[in-house]
Structure 1
Amino acid sequence: MNNSIFLCNIQFTKDAGGFCVTGINLDNATSIAMFDPKEKTYNINGKDVKGHFMVDYTGAQIYDNVSMNQAIFSRPDFYDGMSAALNADDVLSGKTPPRFWLNVQYEAFYNQHGVQLVDIVLEMLTLYKIDFVSSPEIGFLRSINGKVNKMKTKVVFQFLNGNDVEPTTNQSYSTIVKDLAAIKSYASGIMVPKEYIWPVKPDKYLGPPTTLVPDAHKQGLEVYATGFANDFFTSYSYNYDPTAEYLQFIVKGESVDGLVTDFPSGASNSIGQALIISNNGASGVYPGSTDLAYQQAIDDGADIIDCSVQMTKDGTSFCLNTADLMEDTTAMTKFMSRSSNVPEIQTKSGIFSFDLTWNEIQSLQPQISSPFGSGFQRNPANKNSGKFVLLSEFLELAKAKEVTGILINISNAAYLASKKGLDIVGAVSTALSNATFDKQVTQQVLIQSDDSSVLSKYKDISSYKRVFLVEDNIGDTPKKTVDEIKKYAEAVNLPKSAIVKVSGSLLTGMSNVVKELKDANLTVFVHTLRNEFMSMAFDYWSDPNMEIATYIHSAMVDGVVTDFPATTNRYLRSPCSDLHNVPTILPAQAGELQSTVLPTLLPPAEAPLPPLEVANVVDPPLPAVTNVDTPAAPAPAPPPPTPPPPPSGAWANTVNHGLSLVAITMLVINLIL
């Protein structure tokens, strides 16, 4: 997850190999006793500890002979012995190292055994990007103070249980916590057991909160709460709901700056982290569905990268927004004679991928799409940058970059099978299988289509999540329709207009569609968010962050599909995305701005949008894939007529924006006068 940090409780071998293992005694968390049955006893920070210790072995001995076990015995032991001890250098030297938190302890013990802890850690900080380094030992933190690049690494003092004694000062942690100003001299934050913030009374109900968080913030110290685990009972006040516990530390009183948990997905969801889903990669920055667009989407924090699969004449599957090449490629300059009319796909003529071979398509250049015309170009310096991406290459990239998941969009399957002899469903299934996406659960696989028969083909692959795509404007989803959707999908991707009602560039209200779908346990996404002000109602004040806030916080969608993943990522990572923070970015209130406009300037009321009917969901079974001989080149299509001005499209909105602006400006002037 993009908002998570990997915390490593590091232990060192006699030759300074660093491994991430919780606890100085290796017995609980590893299989060390099977390798070496002999135990030793050491005095560590004034206590005799018996067991096996990393410092008695070389890095090679640990790496080659020791595997990890589940240290919490109440949890399943299915994965015991399957993974080698995790070497910190291996993690940090990888191509895409995670955000990393290094927790260090037992300096005196290691020094006694010839392992100079301070020197080793400072060397690691020089070699690698480490976001945090923490320790419960004041002496260690003082030793590295002034030697750490504070712009790169935050230094955090870790509190242990209140009765435990800190080895440098010989004071209890419950005493040290009373002098936060002293901690500020060697650390920029504190990591505390959650009970320091919300104590639990003897009857296992929550007591009143302490003032630790606001007191620490006043000293300029960040606060990270630790000790969270979904399967640990802590208080009846949470009713066995771990989400309620996380939220207690985020929305009740002054929020902590982070949560340290065994179950990061639960904590992340509690913060309200909607999925960021790319639309043809970062198609607002580079030509859509190119290698550069996908890499940019990953760099910009997209959780899910998407591929709308298209087929070539010779059966090659690749990623592109639509089968019509005219908008997203330079096909018009080279293959205009190959244009044709395909009413099953679109009303206008086009140059279609299934009429060209892969070699012919590779002879073209990608072309960045500007949805709002030449007056609103996107990144013209890279208008034709990047290269087209095969479906197989897309899947390889997703695996190599370890993105949270992928979305595969399948369209026109019936036409391709019956008229072109192309099996797009089979091509997708084979590609996913070849990339082993059907045999893993670490990365989400979303299969999206507006065709229920396509989604039915994937009903028996439990690791895939099926997404029903709605592209028409709808105003309601009756229960019969919702029940029908659930036969084919676990999620629904809605257009913006189905969620927030717009009339004449002003928000007029919110539909119940998201609630109706979520009440049926369906996940809900919204498409497509764009940064250009022309794409937004005036209520958002031309600020895409306000639109994002509205769909996430007011509409409560589970994910947003966007041409600009960086914008959504910046919003979600900002304190301003927290509605309980001051300042914050508030969602727009539908209808509020409309009420300030003079009635004579409002556009005529529009008819309600139609409901999504069962007939709009259920499609006939997919036809068999026919054997199609190589056809003659299609007859050239007549030149497309000049389209009439759109009745409610982008350019019409220009006038509406202007009218709204005049009305609001006049209102403000009148109020001032």
Structure 2
Amino acid sequence: MAAKWAQKTVVIPAQRRGCHLITPKILREIESDLAGFKCGLAHFFLQHTSASLTINENYDSDVQADTETFLNRIVPEGHNAPWKHTMEGPDDMPAHIKSSMFGCALTIPITDGRLNMGTWQGIWLCEHRDHATPRKIVVTLNGVIKAAVTTSDLVKTIKAEAIFVSDVTGAAVNAPPLPKWQTLSGRPPLVIAHGGFSGLFPDSSQFAYQFALSTSLPDVALYCDLQFSSDGMGFCKSELTLDNSTIIKEVFPKMEKTYKVNGEDVRGWFSLDFTTDQLVQNVTLIQNIFSRPSTFDGSLGMYMVDDVVELRPPHIWLNVEYNSFFLEHKISTEDYLKALPKEFSFSFISSPEIGFLKSAGGLFKQSKTKLIFRFLDEKAVEPSTKKTYGELVKDLKSIKEFAIGILVPKTYIWPLNKDQYLAPSTSLVKDAHALGLEVYASGFANDAAISYNYSYDPSAEYLQFIENPDFSVDGLLTDFPPTASGAVACLAHSKGNPLPPPERPRPLIISHNGASGVFPGSTDLAYQQAMKDGADIIDCTVQMSKDGTAFCMPSADLGSCTTAGSAFISKGSTVHQIQNKSGIFSFDLSWSEIQTLKPDLVGPFAQLGLKRNPAAKNAGKFMTLPGFLDMAKASNVSGILIDIEHAAYLATRGLGMVDAVTGALTKAGYDKETKQRLLIQSDDSSVLSAFKKSFPASKRVLSIHTDISDVAKPSVDDIKGFADGVKIRRSSVAQITGSFTTHFTNVVDTLHAANLTVFIGVLKNEFMNLGFDYFADPMVEIATYSDAVMADGLVTEFPATAAAYFRSPCSDMSLNLSYSILPAQPGALVNIAVPGALPPAGAPAPLLEPADVLDPPLPPVLAVSTAAAPAPTGAADNTTSAASTNAGSSLLAAGIVALLSLSFLQ
């Protein structure tokens, strides 16, 4: 009999804390492989250290509950527990201990194509964390195949199966070879963590360095800016003065001084005025960039070079920024380096001072340490040569004499023009590589202003430097090493990959007014961009003109998305059924008047300086609903979504929105069988009920505009009567406290249990739109909703970002990769914050009750001749849909929230 091997990674969705029977899930995943074995062994290996596998009772769930009780009693947690390793919360070390108790591997015999377990035995996954992520189990099957399976059948089976065995690069062995990197060495670019994960934690702090190691590529380099105490001990701190990034001025208010630094007077608190004991025992760190969390301020002490070495990172990059300054004050960097123990190994030492690098060359001549010349601003003067860095960059050959590479601001490579768009790249990287110099680029941060070309996707910026037709830099110095790691390990070389099929294994990508983050919403350009960028579903939010033309527009208030504010200011009015503020509404203008307007691209954070693609601010043409349908029919998108709101109110104005949409869809052929799916979305149950009758093949989606924490059972039953799915706000997915997520709600699970699809939106790329758990990275949010929450569709203003994630191998959690873009872990960051650092948690959002779901029947459409309809400011409130009862107050709150930079709550 022939032998056979098979291997597959099974992903178990995130579970609540406790023990869970996973036998059915495992069997579904491996049944096709398992069936071919006559006799053998099945090995199950859990790739995690805070969960475990065991075999136990498969019938009575009380056994699972009792086991969890037992574990919690013998492994205590909390402030009185003796554990030191609690960086990720009080359940951190207990989870590791419990994992070791039960173990992470099982072996089960295979007999005649089945797992040969006892009648009452089942495979348990025991989750030991309060806020878990999906868990990966590598299943390996080995044995002899059944006689009925021939050798040729086995060959066909092996070819058909996706058996992935990962190498250290994270690529599957049976995948096509990746293109060679255009780095000098041909290896992937190095990710360099600037002060650790300083985009999240105070720069150069314990947490910053530890999280950089745990969230980045395995070969990440930890970057330490060297500073000295008065007694010559080395600390890591990015700024020469300490007052912006520590509490030192509060502890030592009289120690402010002025020193000459590179010829200029600098006033502040300097490390050389304090002993090591003074700094270590009294000074704690704070976040010095105000858009970043202050939650960890004052809880972490200054970190010495010795502390970084003790972490045993793959690489330490020591930057000697102020050698001359400290030397003037009798502190020698060279003497410090000579006195270090031999085990203090630095992979890189950089400096902007040529004199220091030349002198250090002898010190490290016999070591593997690479000396790197760091360029500062082009107009700054290098102290040894008295030349500007702009002059020195033109003489790379001279730099080769004392350095093996250069570290340059990213604008040396890709400059920006005056409008903040990319200018042509310089030849710097190619020139340096031709001389054998490595090139490292600095200045990367997810929450910094970047070129409009990147549409606020930080990964796109990294890719510009490592994956373009002409060159790749050799490394990236960044405040957000997880994002750079994802760009290198996941997104590079994946642009040409086909999108996997929608739904599972991935959610639908649904545009929001087209690619409205790139072009004005609902214009021809926005829709064309969305289709180009990979949207599965393009959407039209239908509005009505005064003379009955149905067209696509983000809002009935044309003042918010067109130039109507200047052209038709006299038409302003207040319609409480639409919004609680004055607007210029489409139903007060004729279609010919609307066509005189221009689109207006206004981003949600424009007042805070985050404009969207200013070059296209007024670009594009408005689209009628029939025009939208014709465009969609001629495209390769898999479907369209028609969003209908305010139909009841418009009926009182003599405008039949449902009739207009029905007529346009019928004329376009959507009443017949089509390749494209038709989704009808509304916050009004009566609208959806109408389409259930007239377009039974359509999928109907109830839009919930308010925050909810769960859905009452009667509400679920009511929704199933007229809808196939629900679109919810992002803030209904996770509870937020102080800009951090604390836990996922039950909303998605409840709706999925009722076989309702769930769409989540609206996703935006701007970092101010993201909670801190998402690392200011829209990819992490996408991974969270896709792989942890298991959404069926993502509604986004930037379809390209979602498509880029799903094209990458990291979107497939079943692949055994060495690095992946992981979902956020709600509560993980909250758990390591000092008690009292966060504001009190707000009251949970209410349940979705039947009164929030069911609406009265649509009123008849008033004849145009009788359109002495209610005045805009006095229309009856009973025309407002149940699902949007609180829309007015939500809009007002949203405005306040945006100004407070907390729009991720929406």
Counterpart of 1:470 in structure 2 is 704
Judge conservation of contact 1:310–1:323 (CA < 8 Å) in 2. Answer: yes
Task: Give unmatched runs, 5+ long, in structure 2.
Answer: 1-141, 178-492, 874-890
Map 1:274-285; keep pairs closer than 5 Å.
Answer: 274-285=507-518
Distance 1:615 1:199, change over 3 A: farther
Distance 1:198 1:321, change over 3 A: farther
Match of 1:502 in 2: 736
Q: Which residue of 2 aligns with 1:603?
A: 839
| Structure 2 match to 1:340 | 573
**Equivalent runs, 1:87-102 vs 2, <5 Å:** none
For residue 390 of structure 1, what is the aligned residue in structure 2?
Answer: 624
**1:203 positional shift:** 5.9
- For structure 1, which runs of at least 5 residues remain unmatched after alignment? 1-196, 225-256, 259-263, 638-642, 658-673
Query: How far did residue 629 of structure 1 move?
Result: 3.6
Match of 2:604 in 1: 371
Q: Which secondary structure state, in structure 2, belongs to the residue aligned with residue 401 of structure 1?
A: coil
Give the TM-score of the pair, scaled to structure 2.
Answer: 0.43
Q: Counterparts of 1:26-425 in structure 2 under 5 Å?
A: 201-202=146-147, 222=175, 268=501, 272-374=505-607, 375-418=609-652, 420-425=653-658
* Cα contact 2:769–2:903 (8 A) shared by 1: no
Q: Contact between 1:503 and 1:603, CA under 8 Å: does it hold in 2?
A: yes
**Shift in CA distance, 462/202, structure 1 to aligned 2, threshold 3 Å:** farther
Task: Quickly say closer, same or farther: Cα 1:285–1:478, change in 2 above 3 A.
Answer: same
The residue type equivalent to 1:652 in the other structure is L
Normalized against structure 1, the TM-score is what? Answer: 0.58
Q: One-letter code of the match for 2:636?
A: E
Find the residue that maps to 1:620 and give its secondary structure. Answer: coil
Task: Measure how far apart 1:631 and its partner are.
Answer: 6.7
Deviation for aligned residue 1:625? 0.6
- The separation in 2 between residues aligned to 1:610 and 1:221, in whole angstroms, is 50
Q: Identify the residue that residue 852 of structure 2 maps to in structure 1.
A: 616
Q: Structure 1 residues 432, 203: closer, same or farther in 2, change over 3 A?
A: same
Are 1:652 and 2:900 an aligned pair? yes
Deviation, structure 1 residue 655: 12
Q: CA 1:351–1:202 in 2, change beyond 3 Å: closer, same or farther?
A: farther
CA distance in 1, matches of 2:649, 2:165: 66
CA distance in 2, matches of 1:496, 1:363: 36
**Cα pair 1:281 1:306 within 8 Å, conserved:** yes
Q: 1:430 to 1:576 in 2, by over 3 A?
A: same
Partner of 2:755: 521
Q: Is the 8 A contact 1:576 1:582 kept in 2?
A: no
How far 1:656 moved relative to its partner? Answer: 11
Q: Does 1:530 align with 2:764?
A: yes
TM-aligned CA distance change 1:322 to 1:276, over 3 Å: same
Count of equivalent residues: 418
The residue number in structure 1 matching 2:110 is: none
Deviation per CA, 1:237-277: give whole Å up to 9, x if none: xxxxxxxxxxxxxxxxxxxx99xxxxx99x83686121000
| Maintained 8 Å contact 2:682/2:688 | yes
SS in 2 for 1:534: helix
Shift of 1:648: 6.5
Deviation at 1:628, TM superposition (A): 3.5
- Is this contact kept in 2: 1:275–1:559, CA < 8 A? yes
Verify the 8 A CA contact 1:198 1:207 in the aligned structure 2: no
Structure 1, residues 189-242: CA drift from partner, whole Å, max 9, x if none?
Answer: xxxxxxxx9996346799999699668989976379xxxxxxxxxxxxxxxxxx
- Tell me: CA distance 1:288–1:416, structure 2 relative to 1, closer, same or farther (3 Å): same
* Contact 1:305-1:405 within 8 A present in 2 as well: yes
Distance 1:541 1:553 in 2: 17
In the alignment, the residues of structure 1 paired with residue 895 and residue 843 of structure 2 have an alpha-carbon distance, to the nearest angstrom, of 14
Aligned to 2:328: none
Following the alignment from structure 2 to structure 1, what is the Cα–Cα distance between the partners of residues 165 and 751? 43
**Residue aligning to 1:585:** 821
Opposite residue 606 of structure 1, the aligned amino acid is G
CA change 1:214–1:564 in 2 (3 A) is: closer
2:148 and 2:719 map into 1 onto residues whose CA distance is: 46
Superposed CA offset, 1:536-568 (max 9, x none): 101111000000000011100001000000000
Alignment correspondent of 1:562: 796
Cα displacement (A) at 1:651: 3.0
Q: Secondary structure at the match of 1:318?
A: strand
State the shift of 1:462 in Å: 2.5
Q: Which residue of 1 aligns with 2:670?
A: 437
Deviations 1:125-163 (A, max 9, x none): xxxxxxxxxxxxxxxxxxxxxxxxxxxxxxxxxxxxxxx
Letter in 2 for 1:576: C
CA deviation after TM superposition for structure 1 residue 501, in Å: 1.6
Q: Which amino acid aligns with 1:529?
A: L
Q: Does the aligned pair in 2 maintain the 1:287–1:386 contact within 8 Å?
A: yes
- Aligned residue for 1:86? none
Q: Give secondary structure in 1 for the equivalent of 2:580.
A: coil
CA, structure 1 residues 598+464, in 2 after alignment: closer, same or farther (shift >3 Å)? same
Taking the aligned partners of 2:574 and 2:903, their CA distance within structure 1 comes to 33
CA pair 432-597 structure 1, distance change in 2 beyond 3 A: same
Amino-acid identity (%): 50
- After TM superposition, give the deviation of residue 601 of structure 1 in Å: 2.0
**d(CA) in 1 for partners of 2:664, 2:702:** 21
1:25 corresponds to:
none
Change (3 A) 1:328 1:633: farther
1:541: which partner in 2?
775
Q: In structure 2, how many angstroms separate the alpha carbons of the residues matched to 1:455 and 1:555?
A: 26
Q: Hey, what does 2:805 align to over in structure 1?
A: 571
Q: What is the identity, as a one-letter code, of the residue corresponding to 2:587?
A: F
Superimposed CA distance per residue, residues 356-397 of structure 1 (whole angstroms, 9 cap, x where no aligned partner): 000000000001121123311100000000010000010001
Equivalent residues of 1:216, 1:222 under 8 A apart: no
Relative to structure 1, is the Cα distance of residues 497 and 434 closer, same or farther in structure 2, using a 3 angstrom cutoff?
A: same
CA contact (8 A) 1:476 1:513 kept: yes
CA contact (8 A) 2:768 2:903 kept: no
Following superposition, which runs of at least 4 residues in structure 1 exceed 3 angstroms of deviation?
197-224, 267-271, 628-637, 643-648, 653-657
Structure 1: how far apart are the matches of 2:757 and 2:768?
28
Aligned counterpart, 1:75: none
> C-alpha distance in 2, partners of 1:352/1:423?
16
**In structure 1, what is the Cα distance between the partners aligned to 2:804 and 2:720?**
33
Q: Is the 8 A contact 1:450 1:470 kept in 2?
A: yes
SS in 2 for 1:406: strand
1:650 partner amino acid: A
Residue identity in the other structure for 1:594 = V
2:735/2:844 contact within 8 Å kept: no
Checking the alignment, whether the CA contact within 8 Å between 1:338 and 1:635 is kept in structure 2 is no
Q: Could you tell me how far 1:612 is from its partner in structure 2? A: 0.4
Secondary structure of 1:599's match? Answer: coil
Q: Deviations over 1:67-102 (max 9, x none)?
A: xxxxxxxxxxxxxxxxxxxxxxxxxxxxxxxxxxxx
Contact 1:304 1:406 in 2 (8 A): yes
Is the Cα–Cα contact under 8 Å of residues 504 and 653 in structure 1 kept in the other structure?
no
8 Å contact kept, 1:491–1:525: yes
Counterpart amino acid of 1:602?
Answer: L
Question: Which whole-Å CA distance do the structure 1 matches of 2:628 and 2:894 have between them?
Answer: 36
Distance, in Å, in 2 between the alignment partners of 1:408 and 1:295 is 17
Offset, 1:414: 0.6
